[in-house]
Structure 1
Amino acid sequence: MAPPASSQMAGDPNEDLSGALNIPKDITVFGNRDPNVRTATAIVNGTIITQTDVEQRLALVVAANGGRIPQEELERLRLQVLRNLIDETLQIQEAKAQKIEVAPEEVQQTYDRVASNFRKTPKDFAAFLREKGSSELSIKRQIEGEAAWRRVLSRRIEPFVAVSEEEVNAIINRLKASKGENEYHVGEIFLSATPETMGEAGANAQRIIEQIQRGASFAAYARQFSEASTAAVGGDLGWVRAEQLPEQLSGVVTQLQNGQISTPIAVPGGYSILLLIDKRQVLGVDPRDAQLLLKQLTVTFPPNITQAQATPKLEAFAKAVKDIQGCGKANEVAQSVGADVVNNDQMTIRDLPPQLQDLMLNLQVGQATPPFGSLKDGVRALILCGRDDPAPTSGPSFEQIQSQIEQDRVNRRAQRYLRDLRRDAVIEYR
């Protein structure tokens, strides 16, 4: 069982305790434990984590990244998955120690929602997981762990986190004073480390960055690797201003471009990796929030068609959309070039890929984008049928600001709580 909340909340989670150990510079290691020997299973306070548990959870990570994980990366991922399963086990055990239960019906409801996100029935999703080398039980255990930990935090930490009215009003005043300045939608992966393990954590952070730059999912890596409580939402910090972030992060986020990932950033207690998802102006009107009325024209091609064979159809399609005279002609033009037409009135400019956003900002009603896409997935063009410009925003509400401050404080205390659970656990590796 975890120590009392009073002891868990004491002290600074980023406190440097290395000096208290008094380890001499020159040492002799007695015994021959090889740090390169990898153990794949563990017993955590009597709960067994099997090789199957590890492999099925690893398969989820690989599937979430589209299978694009090099072989040499898999062993490191396997070790990280084992550490995640140990933490998950500790969280579930702590919930049970606090008499907190997550009903099977609740787990099933969440599982069904995940399945629907993949556009599958629960039965088809189970078959999909088996095909990928995972299982329904593996993802349900992850769902249970996340729900159990949230309830532990809501009982043991959140009631003791207070945010005063003065603190919130101070931020509102700073927002008004900084009207027109940038704010940032940020993702973060946090890797904890002691002073002795900073080198290893930095190398791990760099490997994660390289995988994401090669096309791996930032959110999937955040869920599996990040030790912040935002891991459950793919590392999403939401919208923040630079000055709301720790000093080490604020200087970095202002230099990133949309979609860019940072290098590893040393912070108290470990390393952070930032992803700039988007940026906008504080209390300003961003034209990328304009609501669009669009028609999409798509031409498709047979499998294995060559570029030379497709060129005449592509040229005819490009000329037709360039000369189009408003959305009223869209169906007629589509029929003439063999294109399909789809209507959409729920999209903003911000929702489009970055390459199309600048095009759309300068497009007039009735005009079309140049064709884009590929022979494999189809070539498309968007016709702008209408645009509703955004209204000025009043900024985040008092409640939203208060909630963000509370969440930041809960995150810091949750990291300390889990650290204490690890410290007191009896873990046997096999």
Structure 2
Amino acid sequence: MRRIIHATLIAAFLGSAALPAAAGPFAPVVYVNNSAVTQYELDQRVRFMQVLRAPEQGRETALKALVEDRLKLEAARQIGIAVSDQGLEEGLAEFAGRANMDVMQFTEALARDGVERQAYRDFVKAGVAWREVVRQRIVPTVKVSDREVEQAMKRDIETPITTAVLLSELVMPAPPGQEQAVLARGRQLAETVTSEAAFAAAARRYSAVPTAGRGGRLEWVEMANLAPGLRDIVTQMRPGTISQPLTVPGAVVLFFLRDTRGKLRAGATDQTVEYVELALPSAAEGAGILSRADSCDQVYVEANRFAGDPIRRETLPLSSVPLDVAQRIASLDANEGTVIDYGAGARLIMLCRRAPALIGDAVGVSTSLPGLPQPMRAPEPGRSAAGRPGAAGAAAAAGTPEAAANAEEASTPAAAEAPNAANAASDAAAAAGIALPDEPLLRTRDEVRAEIFNRKINAAADAYLAELRADAVIRKP
């Protein structure tokens, strides 16, 4: 009941349309347990979020963040965490570094925009304290199993690689002084548009580019031709969804993804299977073992009843499995078995594991291939007749995968490429199952494990913060 009351109080307060006028800049606007949030802090946080161009802004969002900062600092105090001066300075430097500034430069830039140094320090201090709370309380409880890693890798492998997209665009002019209003309209559209028809209607109404008359509809565009920033955004979208508003000089832009074209990763349909094969005197023996054994390890236990070494365990590409065995395991799930009986003895076959071959190929393989350049082709041809690097050679020298791909397209030598170190690296990467030259790299097990680990930590931290919020006494003055 106490949690319900507290949750209701904060929801009612944070959901109010406006805050009551305060007696002065340092008058409290809300109490979080025994700590007050002042009008001055609220005004500063609102301005700070505007300067940072935070995705969500406004007084309600700022107040919610300040309430959570109080809860984070209190949780830290309760378990004996105190942010040292050195820890705070490191946190300030880390945050300023994201803007390619040092602390002094960042503080001065904020001051020019009306944000005091203390507001910046308070924001970072709460983040540093909460990071340590999470490290001590949550990180030790989070585990990632090998099965979770393999399932995630399997999804990566089986997800088609998008090669082209069908987009609609909506470009709204944002003249000086109207940027925030136009951005707010963009956010509202991103929240309410749920169909292509709704996006097309909005494009006809608000868009200022020639595609407005046809509802913003664009033709098929190759992913390789998209700007890297837009490519990253589109990659995260699903067909039938709208992007968050993007701010560009003088405009706010939204995209709607209508459809995609793609291809499977090379080797995505290849499988590696692990199975046990137990030689038996009769099919009846096999049927009896299958009634008792529910795993490959249990089949090994059963094999101890027979003389000699009648059991073997194989891990093979499916294409290398004997045809009669491959035919039987095609319909089996993990830890299911069958008996092959040809009249002169029998064989029990149990499938232990089935996985895309690329999962096995990626184990222990470094995507940087130590001792060789990055797996990216850089053909020797591509110089102009005068001996200077032509457009293709210059692009390859830029050192980016996009530049190298464009360079390879632009320079098509009549003769086959001569072997070189860069080509050897690319060929080795392809042979290892990491990627072909025109495919994105397959994430390693360590990368996948880290991504799952971080996702679990973030979810657990959010749940813990929600619990702190529900248990807190949050009230107006």
In the superposition, the TM-score normalised over structure 1's length comes to 0.46
Structure scoring higher RCO (CA < 8 A, sep ≥ 6) equals 1
In the superposition, the TM-score normalised over structure 2's length comes to 0.42
